[in-house]
Chain A
Amino acid sequence: MAYEDLREFLATLDKNAQLLRFSDPLSPEPHLGAAARAVSNLTDRGPALLFDNLDGYERGRVVLNVVGSWPNHALMLGLDKDTPVKEQFFEFARRWDAFPVEVGRREDAPWREHTVEGDDIDLFHLLPLFRLNRYDAGTYIDKAPVISRDPDDWDNFDAQNVGIYRIQVKGKARLGIQPLPTHDIGLHLRKAEERGENLPVAIAVGNEPVITTVAGMPLMYDQSEYEMAGAIQGSPYRIAKAPLTGMDVPWGAEAVLEGEIVAYSREVEGPFGEFTGYYSGGRRQPVITIHRVSYRTDPIFEHLYLGRPWTEMDYTLALNTSVPLYQQLKKDFPEVVAVNAMYTQGLLGIISVRPRYGGFAKAVGVRAMTTPHGLGYCKVIIVVDETVDPFNLAQVMWSLSVKFHPAHDLVVLPDLSILPLDPSSEPAGITHKVVLDATTPIAPEQRGHFSQEVDAPAETEAWENRIKQLLK
Chain B
Amino acid sequence: MAYRDLRDFLATLDENGQLVRLTDPLRPEPHFGAAARAVANLTDRGPALQFDNIDGYERSRAVLNAVGSWPNHALMLGLDKDTPVKEQFFEFARRGDDFPVEVERADDAPWREHTLDGDEINLFHLLPLFRLNRYDAGSYIDKAAVVTRDPDDPEHFGKQNVGIYRIQVKGKARLGIQPVPAHDIGLHLRKAEERGENLPMAIAIGNEPVITTIAGMPLAYDESEYEFAGAVQGSPYRIAKAPLTGMDVPYGSEVVIEGEIIGGVREIEGPFGEFTGFYSGGRRQPVIKVHRVSYRTDPIFEHLYIGRPWTELDYTVALNTSVPLYRQLKQDYPEVVAVNAMYTHGLLGIISVRPRYGGFAKAVGMRAMTVPHGLGYCKVIIIVDDTVDPFNLAQVMWSLSVKLHPAHDLVVLPDLSILPLDPSSEPPGISHKVVLDATTPIAPEQRGHFSQEVDAPAETEAWENRIKELLR
Stretch at the interface among A91-99, A118-126, A284-292, A417-425: A417-425
Which residue from B35, B424, B467 sits with its C-beta under 8 Å from A448?
Answer: B424
Q: Are B343 and A467 in contact (CB under 8 A)?
A: no
Q: Are B458 and A34 in contact (CB under 8 A)?
A: yes
CA of A401 to CA of B448, assembled, Å = 29
CA of A403 to CA of B348, assembled, Å = 11
Q: Are B457 and A132 in contact (CB under 8 A)?
A: yes
Q: Are A467 and B274 in contact (CB under 8 A)?
A: no
Which residue from A47, A403, A424, A449 sits with its C-beta under 8 Å from B428?
Answer: A449
Minimal Cβ-Cβ distance residue in A for B470: A20
Q: Are B398 and A460 in contact (CB under 8 A)?
A: no
CA of A118 to CA of B8, assembled, Å = 74
Q: Are A467 and B38 in contact (CB under 8 A)?
A: yes
Minimal Cβ-Cβ distance residue in B for A306: B454
CA of A366 to CA of B407, assembled, Å = 17
Indicate whether A186 reaches chain B with its CB closer than 8 angstroms: no
If A343-B398, A452-B279, A457-B134 touch, whether A133 touches B31 (CB-CB below 8 Å) is: no
Size of interface on A: residues with Cβ below 8 Å to B: 86
Binary contact track A358-383/B, C-beta < 8 Å → 1, others 0: 00000000000000000000011000
- How far apart are B135's CB and chain A's nearest CB, in angstroms? 7
If A30-B458, A406-B434 touch, whether A348 touches B397 (CB-CB below 8 Å) is: yes
Q: Which residues does chain B contribute within 8 Å of A458, judged by CB atoms?
A: 30, 34, 134
Stretch at the interface among B55-63, B87-95, B307-315: B307-315
B residues within 8 Å of A by Cβ?
20, 30-31, 33-35, 37-39, 41-44, 46-47, 49, 132-135, 271, 273-274, 276-279, 281, 307-310, 343-344, 347-348, 379-380, 393-395, 397-398, 400-407, 410, 412-414, 422-426, 428, 431-434, 447-450, 452-464, 466-468, 470-471
Indicate whether A443 reaches chain B with its CB closer than 8 angstroms: no
If A31-B463, A43-B471 touch, whether A308 touches B309 (CB-CB below 8 Å) is: no
If A379-B401, A406-B412, A456-B37 touch, whether A134 touches B458 (CB-CB below 8 Å) is: yes
Minimal Cβ-Cβ distance residue in B for A273: B454
List 24 A-B residue pairs with CB atoms under 8 Å apart, sorted by A's residue number: A38-B461, A38-B467, A278-B449, A278-B452, A309-B394, A310-B398, A347-B402, A405-B432, A406-B413, A412-B406, A414-B407, A423-B402, A434-B410, A448-B423, A453-B277, A456-B41, A460-B34, A461-B38, A463-B35, A463-B38, A464-B42, A467-B46, A468-B42, A470-B20
- How far apart are B153's CB and chain A's nearest CB, in angstroms? 37
Q: Are B34 and A457 in contact (CB under 8 A)?
A: yes
Q: Are A454 and B307 in contact (CB under 8 A)?
A: yes
Q: Are A423 and B30 in contact (CB under 8 A)?
A: no
Which residue from B347, B397, B471 sits with its C-beta under 8 Å from A393?
Answer: B397
Indicate whether A281 reaches chain B with its CB closer than 8 angstroms: yes
CA of A406 to CA of B343, assembled, Å = 17
CA of A394 to CA of B424, assembled, Å = 19
Which residue from B33, B281, B395, B433 sits with its C-beta under 8 Å from A452?
Answer: B281
Known pairs A397-B393, A461-B38 / 6 extra A-B pairs, C-beta < 8 Å: A35-B466, A134-B455, A278-B449, A343-B400, A395-B309, A456-B37
